[in-house]
Amino acid sequence: MRRTLGPGEPVVTIHLSSDETVALPMEEYLVGVIAGEISPRNDMEALKAMAVAARTFAWERMERDVELCATVHCQVWLSPEERFERWGDQTETYTRRIAEAVEATMGELITYEGQVIQATYHGSCGGQTEESKFVWGWDIPYLQSVACIEEPTVREKRFSFDELDAFLGTSLALMSEDRRSEAIAVLATTDSGRAQSVRVGDSEMAGTSFRSVLGLSSTNVDFDWSDEGLLIKTVGNGHAVGMCQTGAAMMAKEGYGYREILGHYYRGIELVKVY
């Protein structure tokens, strides 16, 4: 059940641990979120897009009485002390720049058909975002797969046969080379080319679960077997649903405004100023 927030700027309660919380006005909270989520050196329009997405994300969760933490599970939030630790002498300059983006979009939320959206975002999609149904199991009309102008970044992670056996419960160390490549293989892909399901031994595992178990950057995977083990190459970083932070930065650099950026990643939306 949703509750109604407002009127005016709400106070956000950040759960730092089971017994420690911090309460801040929304706009002050957003400065710490943007500091934790993207580089303050990005073009201003990318910072504004991030501000609106982060405000919307927090607002929607608060409407549902869902706790907000300070990690990637919710939105990364950096305290003033953590910002200084990260930026040193540039802290004042970067904080002022972020605050400018927050102030320029004050009170703006993303809505779809009159409702505040689940404004999910991620680090890097690798060139194509993902549909919500392939990650969370349900279709959300404004969270569809869209092309992204970012340059794909490939990450590599190597596993020995013993490591894979420990993580996945397989017996690769005892198998022949041919059987190994069949024991772990992508069975189905989503429309954007990510692993939807993966064969693991005699079982089938969801691509999202496979990524989680092995600590991979994304479900956009490629396997390269050798005598020593398996090299898994991934493209992108994160669940790939909603706004791509890398793509948003590139769009801003190419001259797109924050409204255009948000409208590209969240389909059919409207921006509404609530305070």
Domain boundaries, the chain: 11-150+239-273, 154-235
Q: Whole-number mean pLDDT of the chain?
A: 95
Average pLDDT value for residue range 1-12 = 73
Check residue 208 and give its pLDDT.
95
Q: Which amino acid is at 185?
A: A
Element (H, E) at 191: none
pLDDT > 60? residue 1: no
Average pLDDT value for residue range 71-96 = 97
- Only one residue has tokens 């540039």, namely 90
**pLDDT class for 93, splitting at 50, 70, 90?**
very high
Q: How far apart are CA 210 and CA 204, in angstroms?
A: 10
Average pLDDT value for residue range 130-156 = 94
Average pLDDT value for residue range 138-149 = 97
Check residue 4 and give its pLDDT.
60
Average pLDDT value for residue range 89-116 = 98
Alpha helical stretches, state H, 105-206:
132-136, 161-168, 177-183
pTM: 0.92
Element (H, E) at 184: strand 184-189
Q: How far apart are CA 154 and CA 259, in angstroms?
A: 29
pLDDT > 60? residue 181: yes
